[in-house]
């Protein structure tokens, strides 16, 4: 974010504070516009990341064609409908064909898409589409489990509900492979 954008965003935060009946004259709120904009740079940092730049692949597979899964990757995102957070964990998996990906890249890929204004369903689709495009596996999968603050602190106010979504491609659409995946992530 350039200096002009930061200044504009800080003015918007001041306007929001005024709209809810607050003022930045109070000691605890004087630096709030700056802190909010600084936090936005991290929360929405996914817009500054290209999936292509994240993915490092290796060809030392030597015929390995079994499921590779990174489980329980925590993620944080923001609902594009209410601009409230939703948080949870994801499982990202693929069936290698000729290449494997650096394991930390799976977590970074999930973060890349989660750190944007989002809906949960789209995040999973974006992860599997990126894996398909850059890794060309026999199949890819992204299962996400999250609690949405737009459901817990407003609206229906259900505190313990979790939304589970999946995006499956290739061989993961076959029942036996899908069952093995769900067994590996502990969702059967």
Residue 12 sits in a domain whose CATH number is 1.10.286.10
80 is catalytic: yes
Give me the pLDDT at residue 62, please. 74
Residues 15 and 105 grouped into a single domain? no
Residues 88 and 21 grouped into a single domain? no
Q: Annotated catalytic residue: which of 91, 112, 120, 126? A: 120
Q: Annotated catalytic residue: which of 80, 121, 162, 174? A: 80
For residue 14, what are the domain limits? 3-43
Residues 30 and 59 grouped into a single domain? no
120 is catalytic: yes
Checking if the pLDDT of 178 tops 80, the result is yes
- Where are the strands (E) in the chain, listed by range? 57-58, 68-79, 85-95, 100-101, 117-118, 139-148, 163-168
Residues 38 and 56 grouped into a single domain? no
Q: Annotated catalytic residue: which of 41, 42, 74, 81? A: 81
User: Mean per-residue pLDDT for 129-151?
Assistant: 95
* Max CA distance (Å), the chain: 65
Checking if the pLDDT of 188 tops 70, the result is no
Residues 135 and 77 grouped into a single domain? yes
Give me the pLDDT at residue 183, please. 94
Residues 76 and 107 grouped into a single domain? yes
Contact (Cβ atoms closer than 8 angstroms) between residue 96 and residue 174: no
91 is catalytic: no
Give me the pLDDT at residue 101, please. 92
Give me the pLDDT at residue 130, please. 97
Checking if the pLDDT of 160 tops 90, the result is no
- In sequence order, which ranges of 20-161 are alpha helices (DSSP H)? 32-43, 51-54, 103-114, 120-135, 149-152
Residues 25 and 62 grouped into a single domain? no
Residues 83 and 22 grouped into a single domain? no
- Reported as a single tens digit per residue, the pLDDT across 64-103 is 889 999 999 999 999 999 999 999 999 999 999 988 999 9
Residues 94 and 140 grouped into a single domain? yes
Confidence category of residue 108, pLDDT binned at 50, 70, 90: very high
How many structural domains compose the chain?
A: 2
Residues 62 and 15 grouped into a single domain? no
Query: Residue 140's domain is classified under what CATH number?
Result: 3.30.1130.10
The DSSP annotation for 129-142 comes to HHHHHHH--SEEEE
159 is catalytic: no
8 is catalytic: no
Residues 74 and 127 grouped into a single domain? yes
Q: Annotated catalytic residue: which of 91, 118, 142, 148? A: 148
- Reported as a single tens digit per residue, the pLDDT across 9-66 is 999 999 999 999 998 888 999 999 999 999 999 999 999 999 999 888 888 777 788 9
Helix (H, G, I), strand (E, B) or coil at 143: strand
Structure tokens at 78: 């923001």
Question: What are the backbone angles phi and psi of residue 125, rounded to the nearest 5°?
Answer: -65, -40
How far apart are the C-alpha atoms of 134 and 94, rounded to whole Å? 12
Q: Annotated catalytic residue: which of 79, 91, 126, 142? A: 79
Checking if the pLDDT of 175 tops 70, the result is yes
How far apart are the C-alpha atoms of 148 and 95, rounded to whole Å? 30
Residues 36 and 56 grouped into a single domain? no
Q: Annotated catalytic residue: which of 22, 136, 149, 150? A: 150
């Amino acid at each position: 974010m350039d200096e002009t954008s930061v200044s504009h965003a800080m003015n918007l935060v001041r306007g929001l504070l005024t709209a809810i009946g607050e003022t930045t004259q109070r000691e605890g709120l004087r630096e709030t516009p700056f802190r909010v904009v600084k936090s936005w740079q991290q929360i929405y940092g996914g817009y500054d990341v290209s999936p292509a730049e994240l993915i490092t692949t290796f060809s030392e597979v030597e015929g390995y064609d079994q499921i590779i899964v990174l489980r329980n990757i925590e993620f944080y995102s923001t609902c594009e409908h209410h601009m409230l957070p939703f948080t949870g964990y994801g499982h990202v998996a693929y069936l290698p064909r000729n290449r494997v990906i650096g394991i930390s890249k799976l977590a970074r890929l999930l973060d890349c898409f989660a750190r944007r204004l989002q809906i949960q369903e789209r995040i999973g689709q974006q992860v599997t589409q990126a894996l398909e495009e850059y890794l060309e596996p026999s199949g890819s999968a992204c299962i996400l489990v999250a609690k949405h603050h737009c459901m817990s602190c407003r609206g229906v106010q259900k505190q313990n509900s979790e939304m589970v979504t999946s995006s499956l491609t290739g061989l993961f659409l076959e029942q036996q492979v899908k069952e093995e995946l769900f067994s590996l992530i502990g969702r059967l």
